[in-house]
Structure 1
Amino acid sequence: MTISPSQPLTGLAAGTLTRVHHIALNVKDMSASRHFYGKILGLRELQGDDVPETLKQLVTDGKVANFELPDGLILDLFYEPDLSPPHPDPTQQFTRANHLAFNIAPEGFDLAVEVLRQHAVMIDHGPVSRPTGRGIYFYDPDGFLVEIRCDPLPQ
């Protein structure tokens, strides 16, 4: 399809964008962030042939780490050692993004909360219960707000 300047653009048709492919976060301490997302939250870190060709050298150099969620979403961590939020208090939002939310089965929610507590992860608030389910909000090593949430238990 050729677009001419005289054609008004109406936007993409519903369903054109099929899913979120990846989310990229800047991190100050790659080791702490890899431990947090890989070991504490249990995401699978891409290694070897699973790393996209365009990122292999950055991964080798320790500047990028990639994690895959079970639904195929990729979380990219970009090493920015000079990263400092505008405000050192993580409860003060410092980016346009509000938080990153992970879904968990309802029967695994309490265990996830206990894992966060055992690892002394800084909790912002929760667990909370709502008609849409339960959630807990906490901070990653760089002060980015993360949520683990679940749907309500079946009645």
Structure 2
Amino acid sequence: MTQAPELKRIHHVAYRCNDAKETVEWYQRVLGMTYTTAFAEDKVPSTGEDDPYMHVFLDCGGGNVLAFFELPNQQPMGRDPNTPAWVQHLAFEVEDEAALLAAKAHVEAQGTDVLGPTCHGVFRSIYFFDPNGHRVELACNIGTREQYAELRRVAPLMLEEWSRTKRAPRHAEWLHENPDA
């Protein structure tokens, strides 16, 4: 029997973009990320296909890297029409609620519409879209150690019930009892 690899962290997460330069500048200006690396090739190294691309990397802090590909010879970007826009998103953590509200003001000052804050019981979030149409979430944790421990305890129970019924399990209804408490 083989053993699963011991993962250290996510090396990077990559998405497609319409314009690499615009994307880098937006993430620097709006979210304060540091542009660190670019790779550009005319052939895809892993497949050998002729498909020029620019691959850019942004440091999100804490050893986390967000990357984008600009693919000028491919069909225009699209999204899965069967997946709601709110499902696929990039979520970044900020320190606390004050930082979340300050981030909201900053993002709005950059001309971007922001939804929220929205309370999820143990964290609050704001949502907006980058210039490529990717949904971005900024979140701050507000839960207690006990609440997170309870969520971990009921997670297997909730997954099992969901798997059987495809209806929202009620194991963590307490998350939404008083969201502003």
Q: 1:129 to 1:80 in 2, by over 3 A?
A: same
- Does residue 12 (structure 1) correspond to residue 4 (structure 2)? The answer is yes
User: Aligned residues: percent identity?
Assistant: 25
For residue 101 of structure 1, report the CA deviation from its aligned partner: 0.4
Q: Normalising by structure 2, what TM-score?
A: 0.61
Q: Name the structure where helix makes up a greater proportion of residues.
A: 2
Runs (4+) of structure 1 exceeding 3 A deviation are: 55-58, 91-94
- Does residue 77 (structure 1) correspond to residue 93 (structure 2)? The answer is no
Aligned residue number for residue 140 of structure 1 = 130
How does 1:1-155 map onto structure 2 within 5 Å? 12=4, 16-46=6-36, 51=37, 56-58=39-41, 63-81=54-72, 82-86=75-79, 92-93=84-85, 98-106=88-96, 107-123=98-114, 125-152=115-142
Alignment root-mean-square deviation, CA:
2.9
Paired amino acid for 1:44: T
Paired amino acid for 1:111: A
Q: Normalising by structure 1, what TM-score?
A: 0.70
Q: 1:112 to 1:62 in 2, by over 3 A?
A: farther
Q: How many residues end up aligned between the 2 structures?
A: 130
Contact in 2 for aligned 1:127/1:135 (Cα 8 Å)? yes
Q: 1:56 to 1:31 in 2, by over 3 A?
A: closer
* Structure 2: stretches of 5+ with no match in the other structure: 42-51, 145-181
For residue 140 of structure 1, report the CA deviation from its aligned partner: 0.8
